[in-house]
Amino acid sequence: MQSLVTPEGHTGRSAQHTCRPLRPDQARDAATKFLTALDPPPPEGTVQNVLLLVSELVTNALRHAGAVTSLKLRADRARIQVTVEDPSPAQPRGRTPDWTGCTGGFGWPMIQRLAQSLTIVPARPGAGKAIIAALPR
């Protein structure tokens, strides 16, 4: 996993972290380190919501697009933003959840409920997309 943390990571004004996780656990670890470095730290409920967003977005990118191009975490005094980029131009779509546990279908609705705002930004044609989820700090 490649990683970059900006010097503002500890100031309380703004912080940013970019990495390229290969697995969801690496993404959660990166998010945990990022969140614990914030000053003041976000409330525990916010931390859990961010970790769940990161985990679901990265899992979906790996499952449906084959890779994560980058995970970007950004925070300021008002909000925390999670951006996951992947190589697929296909837009996320909801599907009927599989209650037997075989095929999933729970992630995208959960992401939609957790995020205060959710934006999908297509990259140049054929080059993937970025999904940007933000929630209050």
pTM, whole model, 2 decimals?
Answer: 0.85
pLDDT at 7: 39
Position 5 pLDDT exceeds 60: no
Residue with tokens 């044609």: 125
Query: What residue type is assigned to position 72 of the chain?
Result: K
pLDDT at 123: 84
Tens of pLDDT, residue by residue over 50-101, are 999 999 999 999 999 999 999 999 999 999 999 999 999 998 887 777 677 6
- The edge-to-edge listing of strands for the beta sheet with 3-5 is 3-5, 14-19, 70-76, 79-86, 129-136, 117-122
pLDDT at 98: 67
- Nearest residue to 65 (alpha-carbon basis) of 30, 89, 39, 36: 89
Q: Are 65 and 117 in contact (CB under 8 A)?
A: no
Tens of pLDDT, residue by residue over 21-56, are 999 999 999 999 999 999 999 999 999 999 999 999
Token pair of 64, please? Answer: 């449906």
Distance CA 47, CA 42 (A): 6
